[in-house]
C-alpha cells in the first residue's frame, strides 16, 4: 500500500514537472520577428564598428580607409535604426526602449547614461554624441 502511494506520488510529481511547467509556446508576430532580425543586424553593425575602431587604433588601417568605412557603417546603422523604429511603431511595440541611451545593444542591460561600455558584457554603448 505504501509502495503504491509512493508510486502515485512520484508519478504525480513527474507529470507536474514535465507537463504543467512548460508554458505554451507563444507564436511571434511577423513584426516581432522582423524586429528581432533587425536587432541582430544592429548588434553585428555595432560589433563591426567596434572592431574597425580597434583596428584603426592598432594601426592596421589608414585614416582615409577608417573614415570611409566608418561612414559606411554609420550610414547603414542609421538606416537600420530608422527601420527598427518604424517596425516597432507600426506594430505598436514600445519604441522608447530602442532609443534609450545606456541600453546595451548586445545584452539589453540598462546602464547609467554616462557609461561608454556595458557593465554586464563590455559592449560599447551608443553615446549621445554619436561616436565614442
Write out the residues near Zn ion by the rule CB under 5 A: 104, 106-107, 109, 118, 120-121, 123
Taking the CA atoms of residue 115, residue 109, residue 126 and residue 30 in that order, the dihedral angle to the nearest 10 degrees is -170
Measured CA to CA, the distance from residue 132 to residue 116 in angstroms comes to 7
Contact 34, 89 (CB under 8 A): no
Q: How far is the CB of 50 from Zn ion (least distance, A)?
A: 12
Nearest to Zn ion of 69, 127 (CB atom): 127
In terms of CB distance, is 61 or 98 closer to Zn ion? 98
The cell for 59 is 594601426
- Least distance (Å) between residue 72 CB and Zn ion: 25
Q: Which is nearer to Zn ion, 84 or 104 (CB)?
A: 104
At closest approach, how far in Å is the CB of 108 from Zn ion? 7
Helices (H), the chain: 2-15, 30-57, 63-91, 96-99
Question: Nearer Cβ to Zn ion, position 98 or 104?
Answer: 104
Q: How far is the CB of 54 from Zn ion (least distance, A)?
A: 17
Q: Which string of b and e fits 38-64 if b means at least 16 CB within 10 Å? A: bbeebeebbebbeebbeebeeeebeee
Amino acid at each position: 500500500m505504501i509502495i503504491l502511494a509512493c508510486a502515485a506520488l512520484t508519478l504525480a510529481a513527474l507529470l507536474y514537472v514535465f507537463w504543467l511547467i512548460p508554458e505554451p509556446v507563444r507564436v511571434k508576430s511577423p513584426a516581432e520577428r522582423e524586429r528581432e532580425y533587425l536587432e541582430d543586424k544592429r548588434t553585428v553593425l555595432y560589433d563591426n564598428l567596434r572592431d574597425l575602431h580597434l583596428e584603426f587604433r592598432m594601426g592596421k588601417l589608414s585614416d582615409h580607409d577608417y573614415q570611409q568605412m566608418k561612414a559606411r557603417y554609420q550610414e547603414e546603422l542609421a538606416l537600420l535604426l530608422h527601420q527598427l523604429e518604424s517596425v516597432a511603431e507600426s506594430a505598436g511595440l514600445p519604441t522608447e526602449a530602442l532609443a534609450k541611451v545606456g541600453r546595451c545593444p548586445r545584452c539589453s542591460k540598462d546602464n547609467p547614461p554616462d557609461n561608454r561600455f556595458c557593465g554586464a558584457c563590455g559592449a560599447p554603448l551608443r553615446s549621445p554624441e554619436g561616436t565614442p
